[in-house]
Amino acid sequence: MRTKAPKISIDILVIRDDKILLGLLTPKWNFEGRRVYGVPGREIYFGEKIGDTIKRNIKEEFNCNVTEYKIVCVNANYALENHYIGIGITAKIDGNPQVLLPEDWESWEWFDRNQIPKNLFPATKNLVECYIQNKICISE
């Protein structure tokens, strides 16, 4: 009998001029009955390097290029009856984010680090806290 295993993904917190980029997720991603903000990121493909995953995701999510990135946390994400081990990344990009996946994202917004919305997707919440507290975090 084969057992289920968690999937591995990346969660990317884009930073520019000390502002944080968050995306308002569409209603299909509601968490605990409410709309939430999240960050770009998806599964790592088999054999794909972490840096290549980051670059691919940023290009697919909003057609920008990654100029710099750093790993800042590891999240265990059980939201929406899933199980992901997410590698939290901070990244800098060129260009202006576009909504390329309207089935997932309604908009991209820049937030001052002192005015982050409270309604964050769980993995995003841990990633934002790690960045703001400037420490490596691990959530279980």
Q: What range defines the domain where residue 52 resides?
A: 7-138
Q: What is the spatial distance between Cα 58 and Cα 35, in angstroms, rounded to a whole number?
A: 22
Buried b (16+ CB within 10 A) or exposed e, 80-116: eeeebebbbbbbebeeebeeeeeebbeebeeeeeeeb
Looking at residue 140, its pLDDT comes to: 62
Looking at residue 76, its pLDDT comes to: 75
Cβ(61)–Cβ(101) under 8 Å?
yes
Q: What is the spatial distance between Cα 123 and Cα 7, in angstroms, rounded to a whole number?
A: 14
Looking at residue 139, its pLDDT comes to: 61
Element (H, E) at 92: strand 84-93
The amino acid occupying position 47 is: G
Looking at residue 69, its pLDDT comes to: 96
Looking at residue 137, its pLDDT comes to: 63
Looking at residue 6, its pLDDT comes to: 81
Task: Tell me if residue 27 falls in helix, strand or coil.
Answer: helix
pLDDT, averaged in runs of 10, over the chain (140 residues): 78 95 91 90 92 95 95 77 84 95 94 94 86 73
Q: Is residue 94 part of a domain?
A: yes
What token pair was written down for 106? 């309604």
Q: Is residue 46 part of a domain?
A: yes
Looking at residue 111, its pLDDT comes to: 97
Looking at residue 61, its pLDDT comes to: 92
Task: Output the domain CATH number for residue 114.
Answer: 3.90.79.10
Q: Is residue 1 part of a domain?
A: no
* Residue of 64, 71, 41 lying closest to 131 (CA atoms): 71
Task: Tell me how far the alpha carbon of residue 5 is from its chain's centroid.
Answer: 21
What token pair was written down for 124? 């995003």
Looking at residue 133, its pLDDT comes to: 84
Looking at residue 4, its pLDDT comes to: 81
Structural domain total, the chain:
1
